[in-house]
Chain A
């Protein structure tokens, strides 16, 4: 599929992949494709930041390359490494065979065969189907030196491997960065990007997401689920449920053949939406009944 030429086409492309994007997110995604600027998505966990990269990749028919960030992630795990073990074997084999040509051995050891391509290098290589979608997930988990390196990599999309030469992306990849905002990512990096805050969806959009992703849940049940989750997000919780939790819960309830929510079913399946013991303890049986009543009143008024 070709790159969308309008915001409507971008929204349609995402919708075809089961991703229900708000108009503002579709606008930013379109701009990212059109202006070849990385997309920086920040927001609470479970609001679909990672999913948009997946939807973009499959909608555009491009390869998805994912760089999962973590504390201590270094340049070699992100870019490339030499396959040290294989190099050692090659050296021993050469020794055993009595090869003495040092130059040839050197050239062989630092050739393509011994290069381990990590996500960033993969993203800079040419791909038949067009530039890939590079997902740099949870960039807030890395440290500042790595951010500085990313800033450089995302500015020129080229990397020099001393032994081989320079690899340059023929066309810049579509870059999506996500952050859960466990810390503030440096401004210099964000300035290169299009910033978008991904919040919790409103009732109508969450219903649309649920219908698209869990179509076998009945309308009544879906409406109750969304209303309950939205009521729950208003509570003082350590970790409010995201859209991912809504979907998990809906799947669990469908698997249990639930037709409508009751305080008992909610209490039994609370583990699908609340992931911390403190939160589960807080939402006690009486709380559940109250929240359910609140959700029903809200539904009745819609």
Chain B
């Protein structure tokens, strides 16, 4: 059995990716593998009921009880109008945004790694 993104209608896989991004910005650690699982899960459940859609995404993207409320809030906002969330994020004060944001990428380490690649090649 293989469930692929192409089994999903229209732009849904893309929207799932955006949703994962929204969750990340809200502070939930949702990675690529979760996003992939989410697409598989949606292909399996179908899309006739919003409640099933919600339960399927929650099962793969949440790993702690403390994340449930946050997930539900982002879900409610996002699947009503994805753009609202973008606007919401901008209205948050810089301090709040800073808290929710993941730590900045280790730039120095990346430069070192890419430098090593160049050196090796």
Contact = CB atoms under 8 A, between A and B. Distances in A.
Query: A and B: real partners?
Result: yes
Nearest to B3: A35
A34 B44 contact: yes
Identify the interface centre among B33, B54, B63: most chain A CB within 10 Å of its CB: B63
Given A35-B41, A191-B34, A27 B55 contact: yes
A42 B65 contact: yes
A195 interface: yes
Interface residues of B, number: 25
Contacts of A194: 41, 59-60
A6 B47 CA distance: 12
Contacts of A42: 65
Nearest to B40: A35
Contacts of A27: 45, 51-52, 55-56, 59
A127 interface: no
Interface of B: 1, 3, 29, 33-34, 37, 40-41, 44-46, 49, 51-52, 54-56, 58-60, 62-65, 68
A187 B63 contact: yes
Contact of B51 (A6, A24, A181): A24
A7 interface: yes
A276 interface: no
Contact of B45 (A7, A181, A187, A197): A7
B33 A31 contact: no
B55 A24 contact: yes
Contact of A28 (B37, B49, B59, B64): B59
A191 B33 contact: yes
Give the 6 A-B residue pairs with the shortest CB-CB distance, closest first.
A24-B55, A27-B55, A194-B59, A190-B63, A28-B59, A34-B44
